Structure 1
Amino acid sequence: MLDYEGDTHIYLQIADILRRRVSGLASGQPVPSEADIQQEFGVARTTARRAIHVLREEGLIYTVQGEGAFVGPASGAPRQKRKVPLYQQIATDLIDQIKAGTFQPRRPIPGETALVAQHGVARETVRRAMALLREQGWIYTVAQRGSYVSPKESWPQD
């Protein structure tokens, strides 16, 4: 699919593939995230970001911080709104796993890199989810070690 030996940069080849895909989508439809592109094409995040940037510069897509990229021009374009922001959804998923016993008190939860890959989101989205969990008392962080499930007595009361 990608020509690694050719004279066209990989990010431009990916942008070309994505351009064809989005041409068949309605305005406001979500487009693949950087993480999705990274995984599908086996490229670095910078390469995926550059491909998205090309389409954004052409006015084919626009991005909304914390929500993703969507088909169409940014000005006045409708988009399918998320009922819950992604970081809150990730936090809720982790809380459910803590309550279910998947993650035990005083034991580590997955790190940023693992959560970014698992949820296909930007690192900042995961950081916001982690900050929310810390703020609510579900987790605590040990410098240079990672984040851990708080003892049950520290959990918020429902």
Structure 2
Amino acid sequence: MDLRYAYVRLADEIEADIRSVRFALGAALPGERAMITEHGVSIDTVRRAVKVLRERGLVTTVPHKGSFVTGTPDAETPPPGSRNGDPDEGV
């Protein structure tokens, strides 16, 4: 059983869609009503999920226009001190 909150599950599903390029950079996410119907969730769940995606840097919401993909999930963040994660690399 998945114990994550419904809005976190929805945000994770949309992030997976962004990662799989179902929603490409610049693409509009489905509207709130469409997400409610498609995922069987409440308006509050949809709004909280989109807020999470904004906090993750994946979407930007334009009032009266919708939410648009503006970032992509990082493939993998290198661990601190690794060659690619060293802030002093090349100094």
Q: Normalised by the size of structure 1, how large is the TM-score?
A: 0.45
Task: Quote the offset at 1:151 in angstroms.
Answer: 3.8
Instruction: Flag the structure with larger Rg.
Output: 1
Q: Which position in structure 2 is the counterpart of 1:92?
A: 12
Task: Quote the offset at 1:129 in angstroms.
Answer: 0.2
In the TM superposition, structure 1's runs of 4+ consecutive aligned residues that sit over 2 Å from their partners are 155-158
- In 2, Cα distance between equivalents of 1:156 and 1:100: 13
1:140 and 2:60 correspond: yes
- In 2, Cα distance between equivalents of 1:113 and 1:146: 12
- In 2, Cα distance between equivalents of 1:103 and 1:111: 13
Task: Quote the offset at 1:128 in angstroms.
Answer: 0.4
Unpaired stretches in structure 2, ≥5 consecutive residues: 77-91
SS of the equivalent of 1:110 reads coil
The one-letter code matched in structure 1 to 2:64 is: Q
SS of the equivalent of 1:132 reads helix
Q: How many residues were matched structurally?
A: 76
Higher helix share: 1
* Identity score, percent: 33
Q: Which position in structure 1 is the counterpart of 2:85?
A: none
SS of the equivalent of 1:95 reads helix
- In 2, Cα distance between equivalents of 1:90 and 1:84: 10
